[in-house]
Structure 1
Amino acid sequence: MILTKLSKPYISTVKFGINKVNIPEEHVVFNAKNNQLKVSVKGQGFSLLQYYLKKPLINIDFTKNITKMDSFYVWNSSLGYSDIISQFDKDIEVLNINPDTLKFRYDVNVIKKIPVVLNEQVKFSQGYDLIEHYQLMPDSIKIIGPESLIEEIASIETDTLFLKDIKNNIAINLPLRMPEVADEIKFSSNSILVSAEVGKFTEGSLKVPIQIKNVPANIKIKYFPKKVNVSFYTSLQNFNTVKIEDFMVECDFSEVSEKQHYLIPKIVKKPENVRNVKMGQELIEYIITE
């Protein structure tokens, strides 16, 4: 019975979504929710069944049979009728197309380069850490779209990198979080490669001499201690390269108030390959000798 019905000819009106093709690169065309074509067709039930199994699409070619106005592309069925017909099987007859005109708002594209921001929640195994910072490839991407949409996009974030108990090097492809207007914007990439060198870390400490600056020429002072213990955290591979002269601890005498009898030490120089640098002394006592 069903096969018999599907073999009979029918007239049906089908709603087609619009698939925009060959849009000029310098323009972006906005999606309009009401842009669709109602096409009345005649054919056997078997031929028409395909249009009801999934939402059908009609291609609109922006390089032919379309008119460009101030801020719109205008498609007219009288110009584009033959293109529409060519997209149907020969055994399907197109009877009517409604509406006879479609308008597509467009804007001029601009190019903008924005940095990629890594979201990460990475927990390392005890005694392990990053040797250096995460490397992002690429660390920025180009976006192409209408200025009105991309002017407020200052950066793009990644999906969150969730890792735990890490003791080996990292190399993972990570998707980017596309903004809500992603359908209207072109992105040079939709993912990045996150890599990092991971190594064993250890703590170290050194006795660093204290330097006093801005002592007036007419006075002399004595201070204690002369050196301060500086602790740090660094990778095993860098541990033996860390030297006392890589650090500098200073006290500024000009910052001492009238009734203050101590100096405040500050670390003003440290090597790049250490972190969590701390001093074991918060105050340096001093006396004026003359």
Structure 2
Amino acid sequence: MAIIKLSAIERRRLQAFVTCLVVAIVAWLFTSLSNPYRYTVKQVIIFKNAPLKRAFHPLQSDTIDAIVQGTGWEMLFSKMNAGQKPVSVDLHTLETKDFIVLNTQLKQINLKKELNHQIIGFNPDTLFFDFSNRTVKRVPVQLVSAIKFQKQFAQSDNVTIKPAYVTISGPAVTLAGIKVWKTDSVKLNNINESFSSRVNLQKAKEGNLDILPKTVTVNIPIDEFTEKSMNIPVKLINNNNYYDVKIFPQKVRVTFTTSLTNYPEANEDDFEAVADLDKWRLNGYRVLPVKLTRLPSYSKIVKIEPQNIDFIVKK
């Protein structure tokens, strides 16, 4: 690679050129940033002089876009300054109106000197408020989830949500149609242990609803499952004529899945196996199918042996 060798005079000329270029760029930036610009900043709004005789609820977010006129320097520092003081909005006109036009308060807002730049407009320009009769209602929280378990793992007990209920306040007409309030979706993949976490509640689509609390604690018990087998006695049902009926066999072997935690406690009292005599009396069955009408929570039946039993009826 060729190396350019400069003489002492050429080096001085290059240094002078670079210095002039840097000075020119700085001067251009200084001049540009000193010019006036219009730009938009996010502002939090707070309310003062609320009406005393009317209960109200804002129908929009507590942040708005303020259209600001200022120098480039002010625009630069406004982007860097996340701690802007809020804009104070006077609500005294809500005694007779259902809305506030922000541009009519520009002079008062700028005179407060809570901001270091001049606001010339807002978007939206008008704030609307709800004055309908408000009521309060408690509804249960409903978990929204999509869970994929690791092989041999599954949910082993009921999900607990604390608090189990949320308080909703808003127009009575709107609240009448709300039966539950859903959480944000909990998505778990290839999970093999219990889940416990704070979960946000879904935000209200209507601007005139308040939800408390905003989050709940969700616990999902998860355990490893294995198979277990037991001999369960068969109970004869619908013997309305009190026939003398003998069944063979009197017990069936049930194989089911259960969590490792519940494995030692699982016993035949947790199950009920029945055979319906009406299958013979009304439909002419020669063998009676066995059906399980009770089994432990979160257990699954793998097989029943035999699935049908013989019987003898003595009239």
Q: TM-score, normalised by structure 2?
A: 0.65
C-alpha separation between the residues in 1 aligned to 2:94 and 2:127? Answer: 10
Q: Provide closer, same or farther for how the CA distance between residues 187 and 257 of structure 1 changes in structure 2, counting only shifts above 3 A.
A: same
Give the corresponding residue for 2:209.
185
Separation in 1, partners of 2:135, 2:159: 30
* Among candidates 230, 246, 250, match of residue 270 of structure 2: 246
- Trace 1:15-54 onto structure 2 (pairs within 5 A): 19-21=45-47, 26-31=55-60, 46=71, 49-50=74-75
- Say how many residue pairs are matched: 273
1:209 corresponds in structure 2 to 233
Q: How far 1:249 sits from its partner (Å)?
A: 1.5
Structure 1 residue matching 2:109: 3-state secondary structure:
helix
8 Å contact from structure 2 (residues 41, 78) kept in 1: no
Letter in 2 for 1:188: L
Note if contact 1:68-1:74 (Cα within 8 Å) is conserved in structure 2.
Answer: no
Given the superposition, is the C-alpha separation of residues 211 and 174 from structure 1 closer, same or farther in structure 2, using an over 3 Å criterion?
A: same
The question of whether the paired residues in 2 share the 8 Å contact of 1:21 and 1:60 is answered with yes
Q: 1:199 to 1:220 in 2, by over 3 A?
A: same
In structure 2, what is the equivalent of residue 66 of structure 1?
93
Alpha-carbon offset, residue 49 of structure 1: 4.9
Shift of the 5–138 alpha-carbon distance from structure 1 to 2, 3 Å rule, reads: same
CA contact (8 A) 2:60 2:127 kept: no
Q: CA RMSD in A?
A: 4.4
Q: Secondary structure at the match of 1:221?
A: strand
The answer to whether the 8 A contact 1:203-1:231 is kept is yes
1:275 maps to which of 299, 302, 315 = 299
Distance 1:21 1:281, change over 3 A: farther
Residue 219 of structure 1: aligned partner: 243
Alpha-carbon contact 2:56-2:129 (below 8 Å) kept: no
Q: What CA distance in whole angstroms lies between the structure 2 residues aligned with 1:231 and 1:211?
A: 18
AA matched with 1:68? E
Cα–Cα, structure 1 residues 262 and 17, in superposed 2: closer, same or farther, change >3 Å? Answer: same
Given that 1:156 and 1:178 are in contact with CA atoms closer than 8 Å, whether structure 2 keeps it comes out as: no
Where in structure 2 are the equivalents of 1:115-130 lying within 5 Å? 115-130=140-155
**Which letter does structure 1 place at the counterpart of 2:196?**
A
Conserved 8 A contact 2:58-2:127:
no
Say which SS state the counterpart of residue 300 (structure 2) adopts.
strand
If each structure's strand is expressed as a fraction of its own residues, which one has the higher value? 1
**Percent identical across equivalent pairs?**
20
The DSSP-based 3-state class of the residue aligned with 1:239 is coil
Alignment partner, residue 156 of structure 2: 131
Higher share of residues assigned helix: 2
Question: Highest Rg: 1 or 2?
Answer: 2
- Cα 1:37/1:228, change in 2 over 3 Å: closer
Unpaired runs of 5+ residues, structure 2, are 1-27
Quote the offset at 1:172 in angstroms: 2.4
TM-aligned CA distance change 1:6 to 1:121, over 3 Å: closer
